[in-house]
Structures are given as C-alpha cells and as structure tokens.
A and B are shown apart, each in its own frame.
Chain A
Amino acid sequence: MKHLPDSHTIVALSTPLGSGAIAIIRLSGPDALDLINPLLSKSLGEDNIRLATFAEICEGPGGKTIDQVVVTWFQGPRSYTGEDIVEISCHCNTLIIDAIISALVRQGARIAEPGEFTLRAFLKGKIDLSQAEAVADIINARTRQSLHQSMRHLEGRLSERLKEISGEVLNYLSLLEINLDFSEEGIEVMPMAELSRRITRTAGQLQELLNTYDYGRYLQEGIQMTILGKPNVGKSSLLNQLLQKERAIVSEIPGTTRDYIEANLDIEGLAVKAVDTAGIRKTEDRIEAIGVERTLQQLDSADIALAVFEGNRELDGDDRALLQIIRDHRELCQFVVVLNKTDIARNVETEKTLQPLGIPLVALSAKSGEGIGALKKCIKESLIGEQSLESEEIVVTSARHKKALAQTIEALLHADQSLHEGASDEILAVDIRLAMDHLGEITGETTSEDVLNHIFGNFCIGK
C-alpha cells in the first residue's frame, strides 16, 4: 500500500557519511524528547532548550554506552521542521552511527524517507511558499537518485534476488487465496506441511541476506583501520608492508610519525583506509601530545584497530597504556593484536599477558613481511567472518533494506507459527500479505491484482 508521510517521529543521519570527525543525527517529531531521554546520561528538558549538552548515549534504557555525544534540543515550532528536533553530534564512525539510529528506532522512531525533513519543514510552514517547487524537486530528485542507486550493480543483484524471493512469497499468498476464493473448484494446492517447510526456507534465505549487512556496509562505505602502538614499535613498517610500498616515513627515531598518515589498502578484497597514528605514550612534547590526542580520536571512528607490540621484549609502561585503551574500546571497535619483531625473538611473558585478552593475535615481522598474509586473513575474518568474497556475492547495504528484510522475516515466521497452531488460511494470509508488503518496500508494491494475475496465470480457475 502506498502511504503518506505521517507525523511519526523520524530519525536519520544528516551529515555525509565517511568524511569528517563528527556526524550529526537528527531526530524530529512529537516524541523526539521522550524517545531520546531514556538513552541519555543527562536528560534534556526546559533548562537546556537550544543549548549544546554533553552526555553519554546508550543502547537502551540502562543499557551499554555507545558514545559520548553532544545533544541539542530545538523545541518546536522554533526548529527546522517546526517539530521538536534533537540533534545528536557523535563521532563519525559507522558502527556508532548505526548503533545510535538503531537504538532510536527501537525506542519507536522511524527511519526518514528521502526529503522528509524538508517536506515537514514545508508542511509546517517553515519554508517559504515560493520554495514549494524546490521541495517537490528535492523529493523527486532523491527518489530518482535512489532509483539510480538501485540500478547499481550490487543493489541491482540484491533486488533481483529479492524479486525471486518475492515471487515465492507471492506464490504462498496465491495458494492461500485459492483456498479462500476458489475453494469450490476442486483445485489441489500444496499441503500445509509443505507450505510451512517452504515458508521457513524462505525466511532462512532472507536471514542469509540480512547477515551480509555488515559486509555490505563495509563494501559501500569502506573500512576504517587504525594502527596503534608505542613509538618505534614498527607501525609504519607494518603499513608499508600492507601497502607494499614506502608511504609512511620509517625511521629509528621514536615519534617520527607526529600526526597521522593515511593509505588505501586492499585487504583480501576489502577496501580499507588505514591510518598510521602517532605512537601512544605519555609525553611532555607538545607536538607529540597533539598526535596522541588525534590517535584516540581516530580510534573513535575506526572499524578495526591493529594494536602493535614488540613480541621480542617484555611489555613496558607505554604498552600497558595501550592495553588499557584496548580494554576501554573493545566494545565499539574490533582489535587485532600484532606481535611484531618475532623474527628476532619471542618473549614468552609478553605472549602470556596478551593471549588472555581474547583478541585475535598475529605474530609477524614487519621488516621481512613474514606473517603479513596471516594478518590480512585475520583482519578480514574479524570484520566479516567466514563470508566469501566472490564478486557474485549479494549484499545488503542500506539500513532501510535491513529493516524491511527483518520485518519480512518476522512476518513469515509469525505466519509459520500460526500455521502450526492450526490457524485458518485467511489468518495466515494476513501475515504473508504483511511479509509481501515489507519486501515490496525494496522490490516494489504487490497489489491484490498481482495476486489474482498470478493465480489465473498458474492455476486452472473457472467454471
């Protein structure tokens, strides 16, 4: 069913993805404040209208902390959309952004449609009448753009695959409708046990697609990887090995990499943007101090971090400082422990301390390149598991698609449950229809006419 924008509270990322240190998530609608306050360490209220407020945001009421953010409440009608708006400035890391949006959706917000903030601004009289045409153009342009995107190779294949699945679901609905609308015509349809088996199978296929979401997102947005470790532990050498050319300046003087260096890598087929940071250590040197601060900032926006230690020596104070950083950040970022310089010697005590962290550990030599292959595999597996990286792989990349798939699966499984409880066809049809509608958000609407067309095309109906 086609629908109109409603007054539901909506949420979306409103800064471009992948650039900048800070991202802004916008929440707009009558329930904005009620939805976000349970997630914040400091509630927003009359005291901080239009005031930037520092707070921690968590996954759910009383749940784990996601990030430290700055939130600002613009009370309607004095806001962009004319509704209550809360703007959340968080660290620009896709995991963090996703976690915050997901938390707000769980609280009851809906992901905004293309151009919806602007549309609301117009409908609430916040945008001048002369701009109506522009608003319509934005809706039109964004729709075209998303149409264009869906033509792109990756999503095109997803859409193709979903159309196949959607055809299956249409078939289930048709079978139920035949039982209801043509029950007098003696048409033999699928036994219920078989229908149940197929519905479960379809739900499983959709689940597999859903499981590709993280991978898909990495493909779409690229992976941020940061390399951490005390000065002169071999971070730049490691980056050079991964890059296979001299990019970072490698020197024997600790602290040579004062700021940070970026390089685009291909690791087992994944696009990775690697950042070589200044060494982590407590320092009096002002320039290096800035570098360390930036290092920690980089970590906030990283998908994965390589923590580099000297495998041939015992851990010192700087190493222990890094260990603390790992413990503090491991919930929000994947880590891989790299034991460098193991071609020189292997220190048993160091390995004994690092092993129990439960973080993947790779021993290598950044100088000779020995063990680099193992590190690459380890990075890939940490990010996307056993997923194959064939170019034919179909992946889910958008949050909207992810949500639609999850809802489709839920409806299918509910139908299957009702089927086992002995529910009648018209009851099962409610959930299958719902599954169809959710899938339709990606593949396009299926009307009751389509169902009848399918029935007439495939079954001998009529007396």
Chain B
Amino acid sequence: MNYYDVVVAGGGHAGIEAALATSRMGLKTAMVTLKKETIGKMSCNPAIGGLAKGHLVREIDALGGEMGKIIDATGIHFKILNQSKGPAVWSPRAQADRLAYMHDAQHRIFTQENLDVIAGSVTGVESENGAVKAAQLSDGRIIPCRSIILTCGTFLNGCIHVGLNNMASGRAGEEAAKGLTENLIDLGFKTGRLKTGTPPRIHIDSIDFDLVEAQLPDDPPVPFSFQSGPIERRQMNCYITYTNQKTHEALLSGIDRSPMYSGIITGVGPRYCPSIEDKVVRFADKDRHQIFLEPEGFDNPEVYVNGFSTSLPADIQEKAIRTVDALRNAEILRLGYAVEYDFFPSYQINATLETKLVENLYFAGQICGTSGYEEAAAQGLMAGINAGLKQQGRAPLILDRSEAYIGVLIDDLINKTILEPYRMFTSRAEFRLLLRHDNADLRLMKKGFAVGLIPEVAYQSMLARKAETETLNKRIAKTVITPAQFNPLAEEKETSGISQNTPLTKLVKRPEITLRELLNCAPDFQDEHVDPNTVAEVEFTNKYAGFLDRQQALVDKFKEMEKTVIPDNLDYQNIASMSAESREKLTQIRPRNLGQAARISGVRQSDVTILMVYIEKGRRSGKGDVSRETG
C-alpha cells in the first residue's frame, strides 16, 4: 500500500483531532477506521464540554483543534455552567444534535487535504530498530508509515454487557477490535481492563413534559470557538426529573442478574459515573437520584437519560424507568449497557504521548485510561501535533500544569497511577484561578499559531484583544474617582461611599461592584465603548489580584523545580540511600526533571532531595548530560 507519514487508528474524538492536526501540518495522513459512517459518533452522552471539560474544549480550540468548531455548528443547548461562582470555574457546555455533529465532523475529515480515510482495523504495529515501520491491518494489508497514533476508544477486545448477556463489541451494534492488544503485549506493553457504561435512550414523545423541570439554554448562546461567529441555530430545552423509592426497588429486584454484582465484569469503572444500581446500593439512604434528560436533536426522537447508566437486563431497565412519574410511559429505543475494554496504563507514554517502548508510536484517548470526549480530543490533538513536530524536526509541544488543563491532564497521566477511567475536574488543577475558559486564547493561541494550526487572522485578533486588555489595565491603574462621581453608585448598590478621591483599582475589589459600573462613573471612560470581554478580563485580574499573585508565586516555585533536568541515563538502582519504592517508581516513569519527579505518586520528599544530590554528583563528575534549562 501507499506510504503515509502518519497513520491514525480510530475515528473518534481523539482520532479526528490527531488526523486533522497532522494533515494540516503538511503530513500525509491516513485515518484507519472500522466504518467511515461512524467517524465522529458521540457514543455516550450528547453533550460537549461541562465542568472542567469546557476548559479543555476551549484550550483545544486555542491550539487549533476542531472540537469547539463542530459543536458551535451543531449545538442545540448552550449553557455556561457554574455562573454563580467566580469566572475561573465557569465552564461552557452544549448538547449537540448528535447526528449533525457526526456529519459535520465527517465533512471536515473527508474534505481535508493530505488526509485519506481507509476502512479497516489496525491489528499490529510493525517496528524496526525500536521505531514504527508500518501498520498491519486485519485483512493482511500493510501500510508503511513513519508514525502511528492509536486512538482505539473502547474497541480493544471490547465486550458489551446487558444483564447476564454479553458479546464482543466495541460499541452498541459495532464489532470489537481484536489482535492489537496481543500485538502490543508482544512488543512489551502492559495492559489493563477498564469498564464504562451508558444509560438507555427513550423516545421523546413518551415523556410527560408536565412532570419535569425544564432547564433553559443561555440566550444568546456563547460559542466555544474563538473563531466562531454568533450562534444562530434554534435551541432546545433539557429537563430534570428524579427517581423514587419504587425505582430503587425495581432496580434491586434485578441485582442478581447484574453483570457487575455477579462478578462477570472485572474491569474497573469510574466512581464519578456509577451505574444507577450502584448508586442505589451504595447510598441506600438517599430517597431519590437526579435524572437529566438530554434531547439528541430536532429530528431525532432519542432522549439520553443521563444519571440512569445501567447494565441490568432489559426487563429491569424498562420496569425501573417506568416508575419515574414523568417516564411512566417511557419507550426505550436503545438499552443501557456496560462495556469493558483494554487500555495501556499511561506510565508507558511520555509527555508528548509517544510511547517509551516504540519510537513514533503514540497513544491518545481511552487507550490511555481516560474517559470523556474532551479528554480524548485533547490527547488526540497533542499526539498529532507532537508527531508532526517530530517529523518536521522541531521541538515538542509540552504544556505544563500552570499553562493549561491539557497540561494537567497529560502530566497526571504520565505521573499518577491510574486506577479508574480518568476524568478532568477543576480541582485537579492547582493553578485553577489562572486557567479560565475565556482566557484560553491568551494562554495558548500563540503556541497553536507557531505549530501552524491557527490562521493568521485569528492570531492577530487575539493579539489585538491582548493589547486592548493591557491598555485598559494601565489606564484604570491611573484612574481615581471622586466622591461626587462614585457615591451615587455606592448608594444604589448599598455599599459605603468614599470621602476622598480613590483609585479605581481599589474600588473594583468590592464584590458588589462591577468594573463596567465604575467605568461609567469615571469621566475618562463614561462614553467609551470597550469590548465586554476585555472589561471582564481586566475586572477579573484586578478583583482577585491578591489571590492571583499568590497563585503566581506558587507557579514560579513550580517552574523553578522544573528547571533541573534529570539525565536520561541515570540509573536509579545505584542510589542506595533512596527508598526501594521511590527507585522503582522513578525507574518506571523516568521523569524529565526534578519537579516531575516530585509529583510522582509514591516518591518521598526526602528521596527527591537525595535525587538532587545525585544529579549534582553526576554534573560535577562530568558524567551524564545534566543541564539547567534556561527560562
């Protein structure tokens, strides 16, 4: 077969980003997928974004990824979550018209230059001298290539469970991918098994809408992509209802036929996304659980019963769902199920997502043990970018924890022991206040532009916004307002007035007053139109200045630790003073620098100091390539 620079195995959210990134970077790319018609399918819930995940989507967009643009084109219910909290933890989410999302994604793939789509299943990685040489397909075809990115989702030896019935399948109605796991084990990789689940879908006309609470979308919708214009698409409501005691009794009546409780499923499932039967058993004292009904499109009768994930038998699913008042007539269109699949514990990859064992082989998405479209897409994009940069002979793109949620995601993957499917949470980001969804462009677009995935016009518009922000910041720092200008507003807002001229930066710290209101009091700004996003940015940095400075101080400390590079050839087994557990962990993970070494779970504080002594020893004796990175 023809030679390709890059072969991407899989057409899910990770595969799409990986393939678009490499082909746009000018590399001849082949996407190998079981079925062309299911590229971009949303196999679980119909939403993109959500808490912390929304941050990921905006970061993907700022780096030049596609997810934000697809959802902007096909979303039917946009909402910024957590708006009652501070701006740092606001997070966008949107329900998609599921079919439209898939078709839009396919259109982008099929029309992309440098990108071919090949129907098939990758079953082997052929390597030579420890580096990728070709991809082997199940039908015997061989695709010679330089890099392979594996984004296989839940397909590797996938097994679907409904009650005590199970079948080999990667996703409802689709065959599993066999052989690749075994091939990777032969190459020396370690594998594990995870589990996830999905709820039933019901017919929209079988819901009693008088008995549910409606959740309205934001008006106007705020787009995900920094490059999207206003969203004109018609919007739909989502709905909330609850289970009750009868539901719980119905579920428990089928627990003896649960594949989880009968021990058939051995894979580890995510605790943040338990099945409804799990919730009922573990939290027996709760008299109800929330159900979130998500429509899947205007022309699609399916409604996703979020919160009701289950692998109980069909009769129990139907009996239980119909105990909910609003769903008493529910017609199940597709059953809920659990799926088990193989993954490759992520200590086996580097920060570029390239595997440690085979050069130019990359893993992205659920194969690394993550869960979620957004987590997958972020890894797909980073794997694609890094495969591309490597082939172009350029330095890799590695984001650190203080720059992006994507940095947190990948850093956690390579340093932490992943015991359950990994999902992003804002609490995982220690520099959370600095990583807002709406400043993702200011944080990352420069890097996306340098890679070549951000068009000039988008980049210039970000630079203009940045300049405008800086100008406004400087101007308000110099502005004072008089009691006569401020006190009427103070009275209106029921806050104390001022008796002498006061700097604006001081007044903006009051929680009850917005920067825009203050600007309206200041003669210099009164009649001036300033972009609301710019005002929001400046308001945030001034209102939370004290907290931001503290986070910045922690970031500086963190960066200092990242500066001491650990030589590649360091043999931890020679460090007798170090604890055996630390030696083992460090040998397994091989951190790039001392900061990373300190983050590895199981490595002791004192052992980090001992490691520092050894690096210094190596540096002084001239052995080992130890250096201090600059900046």
Interface residues in chain A, defined as those with a beta carbon under 8 Å from any beta carbon in chain B: 1-6, 113, 115, 119, 122-123, 125, 129, 132-133, 135-137, 139-140, 143, 177, 179-186, 421-427, 429-430, 433, 445, 447-449, 451-452, 456, 460-463
Contact = CB atoms under 8 A, between A and B. Distances in A.
A456 B88 CA distance: 23
A123 B620 CA distance: 10
Contacts of B88: 426
Given A2-B605, A4-B561, A181 B426 contact: yes
B547 A430 contact: yes
Nearest to A140: B577
B613 A461 contact: no
B131 interface: no
Nearest to B283: A460
Contact of A136 (B81, B279, B564, B614): B614
Contact of B286 (A5, A122, A133, A460): A460
Given A430-B550, A456-B271, A132 B617 contact: yes
Interface stretch (B137-145, B350-358, B427-435): B427-435
B524 interface: no
Contact of A181 (B52, B561, B606): B52
Contact of B544 (A115, A132, A427): A427
B89 interface: yes
B608 interface: yes
B613 A119 contact: yes
Contacts of A181: 51-52, 425-427
A448 B416 CA distance: 11
A461 B616 contact: no
A136 B307 contact: no
B598 interface: yes
Contact of A2 (B279, B427, B577, B599): B599
Interface in B590-625: 594, 598-599, 601, 603-606, 608-610, 612-614, 616-617, 620-621
Given A4-B594, A139-B609, A460-B289, A125 B620 contact: yes
Given A137-B577, A186-B290, A2 B598 contact: yes
B329 interface: no
Contacts of B612: 4-5, 119, 123
Contact of A5 (B85, B290, B307, B609): B609
Nearest to A125: B620
B395 interface: no
B85 A1 contact: no
A185 B270 CA distance: 16
A449 B417 CA distance: 10
Interface residues of B, number: 68
Contacts of B254: none
Given A456-B271, A460-B286, A132 B614 contact: yes
Contacts, number: 157
B551 A430 contact: yes
A448 B575 CA distance: 29
A422 B52 CA distance: 23
Nearest to A137: B577
The 4 closest A-B pairs by CB, nearest first: A463-B307, A136-B577, A2-B598, A424-B86
B79 to A, nearest CB: 10
B230 interface: no
Interface of B: 50-52, 81-82, 84-86, 88-89, 240, 270-274, 279, 282-283, 286, 289-292, 306-307, 309, 416, 425-428, 430, 432-433, 511, 544, 547, 550-551, 554, 557-558, 560-561, 564, 575-578, 594, 598-599, 601, 603-606, 608-610, 612-614, 616-617, 620-621
A137 B50 CA distance: 49
A463 B603 CA distance: 34
Nearest to A424: B86
A115 B613 CA distance: 12
Nearest to B242: A186
Given A139-B606, A143-B606, A426-B432, A184 B613 contact: no
Given A4-B608, A184-B81, A427-B544, A136 B613 contact: yes
Given A129-B617, A133-B577, A180 B85 contact: yes
Contact of A180 (B51, B290, B594): B51
B51 A463 contact: no
Contacts of B604: 143
A424 B621 CA distance: 53
A276 to B, nearest CB: 45
B433 A184 contact: no
Contacts of B432: 426
Contact of A184 (B50, B279, B428): B50
A462 B427 contact: no
Nearest to A134: B577
Nearest to B428: A448
6 contacts: A5-B609, A119-B609, A139-B613, A429-B427, A451-B427, A463-B273
A320 B156 CA distance: 94
